[in-house]
Structure 1
Amino acid sequence: MNRTRREVLAGTSGVFLAAGGGIGLARAAGVAALPAKLTPLPLTALRLRPSDFANAVALNHRYLLALSPDRLLHNFRKYAGMEPKAPIYGGWESDTIAGHTLGHYLTALVLTWQQTDDAEMRRRADYIVAELAAAQAKRGTGYVGALGRKQPDGTIVDGEAIFGEIMRGEIKSGGFDLNGSWSPLYTVHKLFAGLLDVHVGWGNPQALQVTLGLASYFERVFAALDDDRMQQVLGCEYGGLNESFAELYARTRDPRWMVVAKRLYDNRVLDPLKAGEDKLANFHANTQVPKLIGLARIHELTGDGGDAAAARFFWERVTQHHSYVIGGNADREYFAAPDSIALHITDQTCEHCNTYNMLKLTRHLFAWKPDASLFDFYERAHLNHVMAAQDPKTGGFTYMTPLMSGAVRQFAQPDREEFWCCVGSGMESHAKHGEAAFWEGEGTFLVNLYVPAEVTWKAQGARLVLDGSYPIGGTATLTVAALAKPGRFAIALRVPGWAKGRAVVTVNGKPAGAMFDKGYAIVARAWKPGDALAITLPMEPRLEATPGDDSVVAVLHGPLVLAGDLGAASDPWDGADPAMVGQDLLAGFRAEAEPAVYATQGVVRPGDLRFVPFYRQADRRSAVYFKRFGENAWKAEQATYFAEQARLKDVQARAVDVMHLGEMQPERDHDLRTGGASYPVAYRGRQGRDARSGGWFDFRLKTREGPLVLQATYWGGERSRAFDILVDDVKIATQHLEESDRPGKFFDVEYPLPEALTKGKQSIRVRFVPKDRDTAGPVFGVVLFTARTSG
């Protein structure tokens, strides 16, 4: 087990008593409370038993084997002046962010080796480390990397030169661009993390030496910057590089690495969190989560209470006020205002990387102060988001997990070589489904996740087997398969908060006399081989309101989010978003023969639906969130409701191309260009872009034959401004925005295009140009769609 990485400061302990179900409230004689300090059992201590989790690990294992280390190493060798051994991969690996995937791949190899004992995983990781060491030696500076830098002509060259410029104070930093490179320190962090994981995985000393060389290089870079310039650099996404330097300090105890770790501190984001202020709205979500993981690690090594407070506060705000029902967060990668989830149920919700990182942060907080509520979140996100992010047929991964009714999950398929960030975090997440499931401390064995597995608990000389129907059914059973010698010890089972204290805990079929503490049923006794400790939980359906708007609900079955099945992803869907109508909605749910599946009767409009576990809907269209109405309210609302639904569906059905302005990937995909002062903006939870006097922005949209309409979205109530809209340098409109234009609402303006502008073209370039001393926009999205034909 990675003891260095997991060492923690002990937290304080309190008592939680679960009532109901005939379970005793008093402590059983001689039973201790949950230990104040627990550590997770390593992946090497367990083997998964047949389940959806084991299937996911096996599929991911095959995916890792299919990847070519030499293709991932292409730029590392090329930029070091060495001949690449294989062609470069496409997608993001052919962009300036190249190299981030290799870091994820190293970690995934280590995790898979730990969970499967496949020697090929270890061989590949050692081979990659040796190749990195050779490239590092060839460069001779300590630096090794594959990240690129885009030239004015669009060609990509070795990105190392940007760090020399930064040291000289030549800094052009934005949210995702630093001196022409896409989030370079984020990419550096992924390599750091992968190398450190190889080092700890089986003690590979070369991995540590490469890391030390890389660390010394960036120590010099950061030492050249005063605090203001350092903050300027940190305005560009830097991943969890602070965590990596803190971890290097933990491995070496060299204080210089902690100095660097503490300097990697973004004042703008982290100071409010330390002060207990939620100012997350309009920040890119996954840029922030790793910063808090880094603070958590620094706290564990230094005892800094401010760092711990910021991490705890951030976790509480994100999980309770910024997260969707599946545990994921962010719309189109950004946080919105707290408790505004109901306004952001779109086709771009829940970036997988965010949840991957939130689960990391959760493990840190639990180790400080064990409490079942932390793993209530962990379980929810793990089951409903992480498990939903893998295509169970191909092993591909989602970037977003859309929660808009009827949306389809888009998977990065292995043969398409996209290599998004979420492909990297995906290959890690599905290599470690046993991680954090089982913990130990002070003679207690603790089950946090009911992942079927065979576990070796060395401290007690025990072999334990966890099986059961959970989470589809309500029972999980932990059997003592073998004991080196009979003995008295405690086993703690997490009782989820949604169970409302109605857990039934038995030993060998009889009441266990469990004591409850901090959300755990604790049974202490003299155990012997063959003893079976079982927990049974209530699994009826329940409704959960959306934070900030109890008129929007989701349906759950135990820990599982249920989805209304809207049909195959391959079939078109143009129906209205389903709603729920009635006073007792759950009375309309009927269990089917298949576990965790329900059919509705009379409570869903426009028609009844079959509800199934959301994570199993990889190739289906789903409805997760439902507006709920009483019968009278529905009669008054339905005409307006369906009319608006029809309008939105009509535009969607006729859309030729859509541009989400202000968002990193769509702007790249549509070849966004800017001149002068043009900036991404965020307002009322939506991303956009403007251009100030003397500036402009344009982008490319796909087109097709026939009459087309360009639609732009603006915010009502803007101060007076005027700007021109051009298509292929031909002005099609001058738009005036006034304070009286639909204040307090986003609104759309349509611009019919002369057919001569699009005839015979595959694409057009749309440009927004402000009038002199004025501003264009902000524009919160552009859609090109076919004009409605008469008849």
Structure 2
Amino acid sequence: MTRSTPHSAATVDRRFLFRTAAAGTLLSSLSATAFAKPKSASSDVVLPTMAQPVPMQDVRLTASPFYDAIEANTKYLTYLSADRFLHNYHKFAGLPVKGEIYGGWESDTIAGEGLGHYLSALSLMYAQTGNPECKARVDYIVDELVKVQAAQGDGYTGAIMRKRKDGSLVDGKEIFPEIMAGDIRSAGFDLNGAWSPFYSLHKLFAGLLDADKFCGNKKAITVAVGFGGYIEKVFNALDDAQTQKMLNCEYGGLNESFAELYSRTKDPRWLVLSERIYDKKVLDPLKAGEDKLANFHANTQVPKLIALARLYELTGKPEDARAASFFWERVTEHHSFVIGGNADREYFFEPDTIATHITEQTCESCNTYNMLKLTRHLYSWSPNAAYFDYYERAHLNHILAHQNPKTGMFTYMMPLMSGTAREYSSPDNDFWCCVLSGIESHSKHGDSIYWEQEDTLFVNLFIPSKLNWTAQKAAFELTTKYPYEGHIAFKVSQLSGAKTFTVAVRIPAWAQSATLLVNGKTALASTAKGYALIHRKWRAGDVVTLDLPLTLRFEHTAGDDKVVALLRGPMVMAADLGAASETWQGDAPALVGADLLAGITPVSIEQAVYKTNGIGRPGDMTFKPFYAQYERRNAVYFSKYNDAEWATAQVAYSAEQARLKDEAARSVDVMHLGEMQPERDHNLKSDISYPVVYRGRQGRDARTLGFFSFDMKTQRDGKDVGPLILQATYWGSENNRVFDILVDGVAIAHERLTGRQPGAWIDINYPIPLELTKGKAKVTIKFDPKEGKTAGPVFGVKLFTAAATAGAAT
């Protein structure tokens, strides 16, 4: 799928991004015994040129891990309180509040986002399960928003907050008159003191649209139209340059919502507004077929392409389709990890550098939630199994891993660094974006199993379920233990008489062979774009069976064939490194040998458990499905070596240990930023500063108008030790960070991080003038960002002498 120029949205290669041993294998190359071609070419069936998902209310899941996720999410949705999400909406409209505000992000300036997601999740869950409690809550929330909007009096229906310079939190509505007057201030995620306000407002729009679509609540559209009018006034007050300045701040899929509002109301004003919410800096290069994604916040961008996809469906402008398709291909092939997720610390990095970004900050879950949405759009324009090869990968290995089914709680990042445990949300005091997209993701596991177009039914995901295909007045049941077993049965459970139609079964790209039968006999099937097309006269009781061999294979990372991951069918496997509750220390495990697959044997085929025999370093390992290791530490990626390469790697490791030993001998004081006790011991002071963890290292940053400072010792045994060097550790890919470093109020460095060494840790030394430390037992170090910039993150600070033998100053 790699191309350097724009191309038609209908053109997508079968070659799958993760470079499997089977990648590029077309159905026609399967074993001749897999199925039989129709005798006459004239009887071949043409794959439809477009498709639409079967309505989710016609699909019901049966027992499987996906069903368990739906059940756990239902419990959480009914535990949550609509009135607590409505707190700010009521408060800022001057209405009595009915519930205490939630903690976490809901108590920050992005407040109000949660209600929109909650509306969407309830609406989706109603469609997925028919649960009447979900619909009742949707109707209640919409009724309350009608009251809020009436009390506001101008269409506004928001709950965002704003932090004033004195630190007080107030109604965020007050930023909009400033913006309309041309006073626009943003460093990327803040807008005049509010945190991504249009992002938060978009989620409410999306929730209202879902309430209409899935629950038939027409009042929701009325509220959306009124609120849209308020936002329209804000944009109408700005010229193009001011609009682009405002759009530097994350705005979610606000343009998608207005495109959809146009689709529902046919009022052209919403289409005009949707097309105006267009970030030229990001989207123009994509329309030109240029991958300039590195250093852009990933989840800020994906909704922009979803919006272009929706606009293409409404206007037919080919450049919108080209941009969406190009983006999807670049992300899935060149910026994605083996589980289908993308980004490191929420940001895209240079293409084909996956191996240098395997950290505990990989794969923000919202990114995959949105990439799956984008995939659905592209697939609907031109059905091709390649889209669902990706969709299945990400849906199984990332989204299903995202929620702990025991607790119903969610991860923010999906860490892929060896030994890292998943960190889950709490029920009442987090409400990160990935919690909120999570309650949506786990309300709709049946939304993409089946697609349809005229007399063709597509079977794209092998998830146990029952289907009512309204178009043919037919019912089906899919039964399987896939992906633990490779046998899938798809039965016509109800059908009046006999009917002729086509069942298009996806044959995964990783499958080196497949056996397709109808009623126990070799199926007559045409092939197209990764599908087996069975066109016949069907009767109740007919059964299609598909058998796929779930063999092990290694996939290398994009750009580095020495770093690999192990898969079994669609399922990513991971080495089990112990319980998440226990500390894990050690180097990332490696694999050493000439034939690695030969060194892996099954422990339990049924549970997909395997072990290595003699090829693991520092010892052999047990592999289990990655997604299901909810409360385990694991390893997903492995450097692979032959015996000679392994010996060389060990020598390099020893040299690095010697360097660290010398550095320790010269050390006077060390500050472990981001760690509670060291920060207390060093008298840390800060404002608008946050601890961070990245690649196993803890650190701290300071945002614009903030700072952090701390004390460090400058003497040994009460004596000066001569000139000192301050060493700060940064991640070498950091870009556009500008700050001063001060010692006792005197600037010793004006630092600008410009991505000087991508993909590596860097230690930068700052000599301290002797007069700043002479005769002092300690000094105060301060990191002070320039306005609109960030200081750091800084992952540790050391004070050390110029040489290990340094003595007292003279």
Aligned-residue CA RMSD in angstroms? 3.8
Is residue 93–residue 151 contact of structure 2 (8 Å, CA) maintained in 1? Answer: yes
Report the equivalent of 1:557. Answer: 568
Relative to the length of structure 2, the TM-score reads 0.85
2:454 to 420, 433, 442: 442
Q: Which residue of 2 aligns with 1:768?
A: 783
Could you say if the C-alpha distance between residues 642 and 333 of structure 1 is closer, same or farther in structure 2, counting changes exceeding 3 Å?
A: farther
Segment of structure 1 superposing worse, 778-787 or 61-70:
778-787
Pair 1:713 & 2:729 matched: yes
TM-superposed CA distance for 1:538, in Å, is 1.6
Alignment correspondent of 1:223: 236
Inter-partner Cα distance in structure 2 for 1:285 and 1:239 = 11
Matching residue of 2:53: 40
Cα separation, partners in 2 of 1:757 and 1:586, compared to 1, 3 Å: farther
Say if 1:395 and 1:413, in contact at 8 Å, map to a contact too.
no
Which amino acid in 2 is paired with 1:327? G
CA-CA distance at 1:748 after TM superposition: 2.3
Q: In the TM superposition, what is the alpha-carbon distance from 1:646 to its structure 2 partner?
A: 11
Q: CA deviation at 1:697?
A: 5.4
Paired positions, count: 741
Q: 1:543 to 1:10 in 2, by over 3 A?
A: closer
Contact kept in structure 2, 1:356 and 1:429, CA below 8 Å: yes
2:68 is aligned with 1:68: no
Cα–Cα, structure 1 residues 703 and 62, in superposed 2: closer, same or farther, change >3 Å? Answer: farther
Superposed CA deviations along residues 213-240 of structure 1, whole A, max 9, x for unmatched, are 0111111111111100000110000000
CA deviation profile, 1:343-382 (whole Å, cap 9, x unmatched):
1111100000000000000000000010000010000000
* Structure 2 residue 487 is the aligned partner of structure 1 residue 472: no
1:55 aligns with 2:68: yes
Between the aligned partners of 2:516 and 2:446, the Cα distance in structure 1 is: 23
Q: 2:529 and 2:230 mapped to 1: Cα distance?
A: 46
Identify the residue that residue 117 of structure 1 maps to in structure 2.
Answer: 130
Q: How far has the Cα of 1:509 moved from its partner?
A: 2.0
1:308 is paired with a residue whose SS is helix
The answer to whether 1:632 aligns with 2:644 is yes
Distance 1:60 1:24 in 2: 40
Give the Cα–Cα distance (whole angstroms) in 2 for the partners of residues 645 and 98 of structure 1: 47
Answer yes or no: is the 8 Å Cα contact 1:282–1:335 preserved in 2. Answer: yes
Which of 597, 617, 625 is equivalent to 1:586?
597
| SS class of match (2:674) | strand
For 1:616, the equivalent position in structure 2 comes to: 628
Q: Deviations over 1:79-108 (max 9, x none)?
A: 011111111011000000001011000000
* Contact in 1 for aligned 2:211/2:217 (Cα 8 Å): yes
Q: Deviations over 1:268-300 (max 9, x none)?
A: 000000000000000000000000000000000
User: What are the within-5 Å matches in structure 2 for residues 228-307 of structure 1?
Assistant: 228-307=241-320
- CA, structure 1 residues 444+126, in 2 after alignment: closer, same or farther (shift >3 Å)? same
In structure 2, the residue matched to 1:489 is: 501
Please state if 1:658 is matched with 2:674: yes
What residue ranges of structure 1 are gaps of 5+ in the alignment? 1-8, 660-668, 675-679
Counterpart of 2:28 in structure 1 is 18
SS in 2 for 1:615: coil
The one-letter amino acid of 1:454's match is: K
The question of whether the paired residues in 2 share the 8 Å contact of 1:490 and 1:522 is answered with: yes
Deviation track 1:126-176 (CA, whole Å, cap 9, x = no partner) reads 100011110110010100110011011211111111111111111112210
Are 1:18 and 1:25, in contact at CA under 8 Å, matched by a contact in 2?
Answer: no
CA contact (8 A) 1:17 1:25 kept: no
Distance 1:38 1:757 in 2: 74
Rounded to whole Å, the distance in 1 between the matches of 2:384 and 2:101 is: 46
Q: Choose from 154, 159, 162 the match for 2:167.
A: 154
SS at match of 1:379: helix
Which aligned pairs between 1:80-229 and structure 2 lie closer than 5 A? 80-229=93-242
TM-score with structure 1 setting the length:
0.87
State the distance in 2 between where 1:152 and 1:737 align: 26
Contact 1:723 1:734 in 2 (8 A): no
Distance in 1 between residues matched to 2:205 and 2:639, nearest whole Å: 45
Distance in 2 (alpha carbons) for counterparts of 1:513 and 1:76? 59
Aligned pairs for 1:410-429 within 5 A: 410-415=423-428, 417-429=429-441
What is the alpha-carbon distance in structure 2 between the residues aligned to residue 391 and residue 703 of structure 1? Answer: 42
Q: Which residue of 2 aligns with 1:699?
A: 708
The answer to whether the 8 A contact 2:727-2:799 is kept is no
Residue 246 of structure 1 aligns with an amino acid whose one-letter code is: A
Q: 1:767 Cα deviation (Å)?
A: 2.1
SS for the counterpart of 1:496 is coil
Unaligned runs of at least 5 residues, structure 2: 1-7, 15-25, 665-669, 676-684, 717-724, 801-810
1:392 aligns with 2:402: no
CA distance in 1: counterparts of 2:752 and 2:92, whole angstroms: 53
2:22 is aligned to none
The structure-2 alpha-carbon separation of the partners of 1:645 and 1:332, relative to structure 1 and needing over 3 Å to count, comes to farther
| Residues 1:785 and 1:85: Cα distance change in structure 2 (over 3 Å) | farther
Give distance in 2, aligned partners of 1:418 and 1:757.
44
CA distance in 1, matches of 2:207, 2:748: 52
Q: Is the 8 A contact 2:674 2:699 kept in 1?
A: no
Code of the aligned partner of 2:596:
L
Cα separation, 1, equivalents of 2:557 and 2:472: 44
Secondary structure of 1:160's aligned partner: helix
Q: 1:286 to 1:738 in 2, by over 3 A?
A: closer
Alpha-carbon distance between aligned partners in 2 of 1:178 and 1:497, rounded to the nearest angstrom = 45
The answer to whether the 8 Å contact 1:722/1:734 transfers is: no
1:166 and 1:186 map into 2 onto residues whose CA distance is 16
Distance 2:351 2:278 in 1: 24
Conserved 8 A contact 1:447-1:493: yes
Distance 1:117 1:646 in 2: 64
Contact 2:289/2:326 (<8 A) preserved: yes
With over 3 angstroms needed to count, the CA separation of the structure-2 counterparts of 1:645 and 1:226, relative to structure 1, is farther
Distance in 2 separating the partners of 1:337 and 1:716:
13
1:454 corresponding residue in structure 2:
466
Structure 2 SS opposite 1:86: coil
Shift of 1:672: 2.8
Amino acid aligned to 2:688? L
Cα distance change of structure 1 residues 114 and 710 upon mapping to structure 2, 3 Å threshold: farther
Contact 2:702–2:793 at 8 Å: present in 1 too?
no
* Matched position secondary structure for 1:556: strand
What amino acid maps onto 1:448 in structure 2? N
Cα distance in 2, alignment partners of residues 524 and 471 from structure 1: 26
Q: Secondary structure at the match of 1:399?
A: coil
Q: How does 1:343-422 map to 2 (within 5 A)?
A: 343-415=356-428, 417-422=429-434
Question: In the TM superposition, what is the alpha-carbon distance from 1:725 to its structure 2 partner?
Answer: 3.9
Give the letter aligned to residue 123 of structure 1: A
Q: Which amino acid aligns with 2:674?
A: V
Deviates more, 1:505-514 or 1:137-146: 505-514
Cα separation, partners in 2 of 1:155 and 1:710, compared to 1, 3 Å: farther
CA–CA separation in structure 1 for the residues paired with 2:780 and 2:476: 63
Q: For each residue in 1:520-562, what CA deviation from the matched residue of structure 2 results, as whole angstroms up to 9, or x when unmatched? A: 1111222222211111112111000000111100000000000
In structure 1, the residue matched to 2:542 is 531
In structure 2, relative to structure 1, the CA distance for the partners of 1:402 and 1:723 (3 Å cut) is: closer
Secondary structure of the 1:107 match is helix
In 1: Cα distance, 2:757 partner to 2:605 partner: 50
Q: Is 1:548–2:564 an aligned residue pair?
A: no
**Structure-1 separation of matches of 2:267 and 2:728:** 55
SS at match of 1:412: coil
